[in-house]
Chain A
Amino acid sequence: MSLEASVSLTRGTLRLTVDLTLGPGATVALLGPNGAGKTTLVRALAGLQPLDRGTVILDGQVLEDTGAGIRLAPEDRPIGVVFQDYLLFPHLSALENVAFGVRCAGVARTEARRRAAEWLERVGLGDRTSSKPGQLSGGQAQRVALARALATRPRLLLLDEPLSALDASTRLEVRRELCRHLASFEGMRLLVTHDPIEAMALADELVVLEDGRVVQSGTPADVSARPRSRYVADLVGVNLYRAQGGGDRVVLPGGSSLHVAGGGEATGDVFALVHPRAVSLHRREPEGSPRNVWRGVAESLDLDGERVRVRVTGPVPIVAEVTPAAVADLDLAGGGDVWVSVKASEVEVYPA
């Protein structure tokens, strides 16, 4: 079981060019900011949005090939979709919603209803079969939508922001539920989200989409250890710089530079990553071993759990993570000039 898709299409200002491969039983999260083209990609795979160019091949079956003029209609693709706001048919009961796809596959009414009841039982809604979508909570509606998509026995399940329509208080529980149900589904899963926590909790591989292009992919650990875009760096909460490598230092676009330790792979276009925890702040010019020392202005403070994130502007804009005690000692609440120091060994460099 595998999906190989090469998608190229233009829609309004969005130019989507994505190559995507899913292995058997994989759960892949498509992560990206709003407007990156995530939903458009889902619609393209489902057949709701024609490709300008490209191919979609599922388990060796060609679903779409613009070169060969092949394009299967959405109803002919073994792909299930859970839409962002679920789109349960408002005039049908939960049972009839789930039975809809089964009936479309040619199963008789009573048998379709029996199977639908089974599915609702499986997602814990055995007692809500006759409820109309309007009478269900957000979490329940999501489970009906999931059951409805799975009841058609798709080989690929597409989930478009499955948790975004829920309020924060129920999201955690619904996510745990979703995780459990996804695990029992043997096909491939592609999950669209703009929430990195959701992506990392539900997927074993991330694909980061920005402006219609894949900027990074890999396991959640890989992606968060070595971000390759500002978007991912911000999600993970680290300082990331595009730089030119050269021996024991990297040069930033503004002309300022950072000393690095080792520096073996630091040649040509590189990323330089500094964890906010590795950044020290001082009121006076520090003496000692750190090789990277510069003067900046503390601009803003953000409380992040037990730590305070201090945004410092200067030759190298950077975010430092310090304790509330340090904020008091350094009298950072009012902003002002600070000295920044970073050990060369704390600057991680990898090729761009």
Chain B
Amino acid sequence: MIAARRERAGVPLAALAVALATSLFFLLPLAGLVWRAPWSSLAGELGNREVRQALQLSLVCSLWATVLSLVFGVPLAWVLARAEFRGRKLLRALTTLPMVLPPVVGGVALLLAFGRNGLAGQWLGVQLPFTTAGVVLAETFVAMPFLVIAAEAGFRSADQRYEEAARTLGARPWTVFRRVTLPLVAPSLAAGAVLCWARALGEFGATITFAGNFPGRTQTTPLKVYLLLETRPEAAIVLSLVLLAISVAVLVGLRQRWLAPG
């Protein structure tokens, strides 16, 4: 107690003032959102067909993106964590690039790759841009790195001697992975999946560039918010509140992991 108090007393007043101002910088926009929310017409706005459509599409697409990220990202993370090969660092840099790449650039790049005349698109025979599948693809592209990073850290920190113990008990590699490795990294995978889903849910730039903005097909909630802001600001605020609530829920859900003191 005494040590803590002494330490606090040692913090310069100027730093405290800056910290206070900074926290206002984060707090004010959120407060504005809550303050300007049309609480009385909230239910009505949420019942609006187009709003519901956007929310539903967002939910479906972001969940698909999360599933795809798990299916493809977990093996990738395993390879990054466990395999020794040339170019591993390069591969990791490549898969984490979408985290720092401007989403719009991601969308353009996806168009050039999977568009009608794109590198892969001309052989694919499937129309991806401006479809719901395109939304899923764009969201997966942007969100999967969050899962890969968390999963790789999980695979790295899992004690491999448990896997050795499993093998001495007669477990084949696939059984070891399924019954020992996966449960050991499950907390990391869950955290990664939640982050990935949250990122997919909020995706804007890559989606609008690659998949366009068609109501009911590619118009996800963030896109809808942007459009509504011009025509019906109250509806935009309501949808923003929904996304804010989800973000807060994600933070609370992950608090054991990232908000724990220490």
Contacts and interface: CB of A to CB of B under 8 A. Distances in A.
Interface of A: 46-48, 73-75, 77, 79-81, 83, 87, 89-92, 100-101, 104-105, 148-149, 152
Interface string B59-75: 00000000000000000
B175 A81 contact: no
27 contacts: A46-B168, A47-B167, A48-B168, A73-B167, A74-B164, A74-B168, A75-B167, A75-B168, A75-B169, A75-B170, A77-B168, A80-B168, A81-B165, A81-B168, A83-B165, A87-B162, A87-B164, A87-B165, A89-B165, A100-B166, A101-B170, A101-B171, A104-B169, A105-B170, A148-B169, A149-B169, A152-B169
A83 B168 CA distance: 10
Interface in B135-161: 159, 161
B167 A79 contact: no
Interface stretch (B178-186, B203-211, B235-243): B178-186
B172 interface: yes
A282 to B, nearest CB: 56
Nearest to B183: A91
Chain B: interface size category: 10 to 19
Nearest to A151: B169
A104 B175 contact: yes
Contacts of A152: 169-170
A89 to B, nearest CB: 6
Contacts of A75: 167-172
B185 to A, nearest CB: 11
Given A74-B164, A89-B162, A104 B171 contact: yes
A285 to B, nearest CB: 61
Nearest to B179: A100
A226 to B, nearest CB: 36
Given A87-B161, A89-B183, 7 more contacts: A47-B168, A75-B168, A75-B170, A75-B171, A81-B168, A101-B170, A152-B169
A233 to B, nearest CB: 34
Contacts of A101: 169-171
Contacts of A48: 164, 167-168
Q: Which 8 A-B pairs have the closest CB atoms?
A: A101-B169, A104-B170, A74-B167, A87-B165, A91-B183, A81-B168, A104-B171, A75-B170
A222 B43 CA distance: 89
A83 B167 contact: no
Contacts of A77: 168
Nearest to B167: A74
A47 B179 CA distance: 21
Contact of A83 (B161, B175, B186): B161
Contacts of A81: 165, 168
Nearest to A84: B161
Contacts of B166: 89, 100
Contacts of B175: 104
A74 B159 CA distance: 18
Contacts of B167: 47-48, 73-75
Nearest to B169: A101
A79 B169 CA distance: 8
Given A89-B166, A89-B180, A91-B183, A100 B171 contact: yes
A80 B166 CA distance: 11
Nearest to B184: A91
A179 to B, nearest CB: 23
Contacts of B164: 48, 74, 87
